Chain A
Amino acid sequence: MQEIDQFKERMDGKISHLIDKKRRFYFNVESENLREVAEYLFKNLGCRLSTATAMEMMHGIEILYHFSLDRAGQYFCPRVVITDKEHPKVPSITSIIGGAVWIEREMFDLWGIEFDGHPRMEELLTLHHPQGLKQPMRFGRTE
């Protein structure tokens, strides 16, 4: 696919662990390159940020972003792995994509991931929880 080839060429050396499936393209990206990748996908390719998925794994906390290139029915999924489980932190992409505000707040809320540069880094879902839930999706899961 032309857009994937362009993307690979443009991001050469910045993306790894490529998995190219039918209409799904997964790859890893270091957190320092995340904003550049997000900006290219959103502004240059014209992708829409569908959502992001956080997961706690043995090797760290993963954030898998889901960018949809609607005109081609293609998903680009950059994966950031944060090995510091105690203080997970990644750059926020909200200054590039306004639609990322809620999902970053949700991941901060449920997984305790801090998004550097987020305009309102506070809980989204448990803000008013009577029991004061803290990071309810973090329970030291094992694979």
Chain B
Amino acid sequence: MSVNKIPVGPFHPLLEEAEYFELKVDGETVVDIDLEIGWMHRGHEFISESKTFTQSIFLVERICGICSTSHPLALVHAVEDIDNIEIPLRARYIRTLIGELERIHSHLLWIGLAGHFIGYDTLWMWAWKYREPILQMFEMITGNRNHYGMMRVGGVARDVDPVIIPKLLEDLDIVDQKMVMIAGAAKDDPVLRSRLKNVGILTHQAAVDLCAVGPTARASGIAIDVRKDDPTDAYDLVEFNMIVQKNGDVYDKLVVRVLETLESTKIVRQCLEKLKVVKGPILNDVKEVSEGEGIGRYEAPRGEVFHYIRSDGTNRPIRHKVRAPSYVNIPTYVASCKGIPVADALITLAAVDPCYCCTERTIQLIDANRNPVAVDLLKLSREKTEQVRREIHD
């Protein structure tokens, strides 16, 4: 067996974030993968210890640009957990509304990228086109398309104007219809099914052992979802289904996300209807936080976001631990990438929706004559889809 190493990353002009993978390949088969993180030093946990709890909300909101309300939600849950602080009913619906809108736009972003990686640019353009109304809804509700600044310990910072609710429901109907169309197209397309079925399988046992979370775990048959298991905000007041699949392949991860998006539109609609009738304050005035410790968790689009706060009774934490879902999902590559062809590596790496921009990764290799050899994973992936398409249509 002759094993060659394909380095992927860590820096590329197209990447928003840095990450490094080393694929060990025998011929065209990936036999092992090594992962290295630590190319960005952002120091959020350290900086947070010098900020007040309210200031930290704005800090953690900037951990992630895609799920920028998941971290603030987990943080306020952690602070509220110290003293079992209750929040007003209206604020609970608003928090859930924001969280679910974020899930829709994040999943649509991933569906688009997944389509692009395998050469389905129409799916990519559809998904991103219909993500746009969601961002506009955010702008109407919060004033921002991203980094909404809505969460506060004890409630939310801004109320939802009842005047805009009919327009929000109207926009949601359009997104809902389009999502049904995308779901149908994705599920019924024979090429897509052939291309993604049984690719990059993460078995149930591997997912349990590696402690995977979110859609990555649910696609492998693990029925966990913080919204159901430890419901906060309005999740125990709305109806929705947890989407669980069995095979753990890329196709199941796609199905989980597509169906979850439809569940999220269901939740958003229920919240908006409730906000028409539920009146009252949106923020409880929290004067002090006691000495103690609290755990906050929230089901982000990628899985459970975890925050731990240790308080000494002042308005700042003495320890603030943050664990994003990608931190536990990325190590599942060691199980899902082994034995797959190199052409499937890109979509398998992307299937956990890792929190970095895993777009085109052109890697430079040196051949026996010291000449640079370009290996384009995106090109390989798209060529394989084309090959599958030809086989099916011929």
A interface list, Cβ under 8 A from B: 21-24, 26, 48-51, 53, 55, 64, 66, 68, 70-75, 77, 97-102, 123-129, 136-137, 143
B293 touches A49 (CB 8 A): no
Instruction: Judge if B38 is at the interface, Cβ distance under 8 Å.
Output: yes
Closest to B330 in A: A102
Interface residues of B (CB under 8 A from A): 36-39, 41, 46, 81, 84, 206, 208-213, 224, 226, 229-231, 293-295, 297, 304, 306, 308, 310, 312, 318-319, 321, 323, 327-328, 331
Chain A hits for B312, CB < 8 A: 143
Instruction: Tell me the complex Cα distance, A129–B209, Å.
Output: 30
Q: Which residues of B contact A128 (CB under 8 A)?
A: 36, 38-39
With A98-B210, A125-B37, A129-B41: A73-B323 Cβ-Cβ less than 8 Å: no
B contacts with A: majority SS: mixed
Instruction: Please state if A70 and B224 are interface contacts (CB–CB under 8 Å).
Output: yes
Minimum distance in angstroms from A55 CB to a CB of chain B: 5
A-B contact pairs, 14 of them (CB 8 A): A22-B84, A55-B318, A64-B308, A73-B229, A73-B230, A77-B295, A102-B327, A125-B37, A125-B38, A127-B38, A128-B36, A128-B38, A129-B41, A143-B318
Given contacts A22-B84, A99-B328, contact A50 B38 (CB under 8 A): no
Interface pair B38/A55, CB less than 8 Å apart = no
Considering the complex, give the chain A residue whose CB is closest to the CB of B328.
Answer: A99
Residue of B nearest to A53 (CB): B321
The 8 A-B residue pairs whose C-beta atoms are closest, nearest first, are A99-B211, A73-B230, A125-B38, A51-B323, A53-B321, A98-B209, A70-B224, A73-B229
Q: Which residues of A contact B38 (CB under 8 A)?
A: 123-129
A66 close to B41 (CB less than 8 A):
no
Evaluate contact between B319 and A51: CB separation under 8 angstroms.
no
Q: How distant is the Cα of A97 from the Cα of B304 in the complex, in angstroms?
A: 18
Inside 8 A of B331's CB, which chain A residues have their CB?
98-99, 101-102
Q: How far is the CA of A99 from the CA of B328 in the complex (A)?
A: 7
Tell me which residues across on chain A come within 8 A of B318, comparing CB atoms.
Answer: 55, 143
| Chain A residue at minimum C-beta to C-beta distance from B323 | A51
Report yes or no: B211 in contact with A49, Cβ–Cβ below 8 A: yes
CA distance A73 to B298 in the complex (A): 12
Whether B209 and A97, one on each chain, are in contact in the complex, defined by CB atoms closer than 8 angstroms, is yes
B81 contacts across to A, CB distance below 8 A: 21, 24
Is there an interface contact between A66 and B306, defined as CB atoms closer than 8 Å?
A: yes
| CB-based contact B84/A97 at 8 Å | no
A66:B37 contact, CB within 8 angstroms: no
- B contact residues around A48 at 8 Å (CB): 208, 211, 213, 224
- Give the residues in chain B near A125, CB-CB below 8 Å: 37-38, 41
Nearest Cβ in chain B — how far from A24, in angstroms? Answer: 6
The answer to whether A51 touches B36, judged by C-beta atoms less than 8 angstroms apart, is: no
A66: which B residues are within 8 A, CB to CB?
295, 306, 308
User: Which of B318, B328, B331 has the largest count of A CB atoms less than 10 A from its CB?
Assistant: B328
Shortest CB-to-CB span from A111 to chain B, Å, is 12
* Residues of chain A lying within 8 A (CB to CB) of residue B306: 50-51, 66
Are A55 and B319 CB-contacts (below 8 A) given A23-B230, A71-B229, A75-B295?
Answer: yes
Residues of B close to A49: CB separation below 8 A: 211
Closest Cβ of chain A: how far from B10's Cβ, in Å? 8
Pick the contact of B36: A75, A101, A127, A136 (CB < 8 A).
A127
Asked if A50 and B304 make an inter-chain contact with CB atoms under 8 angstroms apart, the answer reads yes
Q: Which of A50, A129, A136, A143 is close to B323, meaning CB atoms less than 8 Å apart?
A: A50
- Which residues of A sit under 8 angstroms from B213, Cβ to Cβ? 48
| Cβ of A56 to closest chain B Cβ, rounded Å | 9
Instruction: Output the least CB separation between A51 and chain B (Å).
Output: 4
* Residue with the highest number of chain B CB atoms closer than 10 Å, among A64, A72, A101: A64
A102 and B212 alpha carbons, distance in the complex (Å): 13
| Known pairs A53-B308, A66-B295, A100-B211 / 19 extra A-B pairs, C-beta < 8 Å | A21-B84, A24-B81, A24-B294, A24-B295, A51-B327, A51-B328, A64-B308, A66-B308, A75-B295, A98-B210, A98-B331, A102-B327, A102-B331, A124-B38, A126-B41, A127-B38, A128-B36, A128-B38, A129-B41
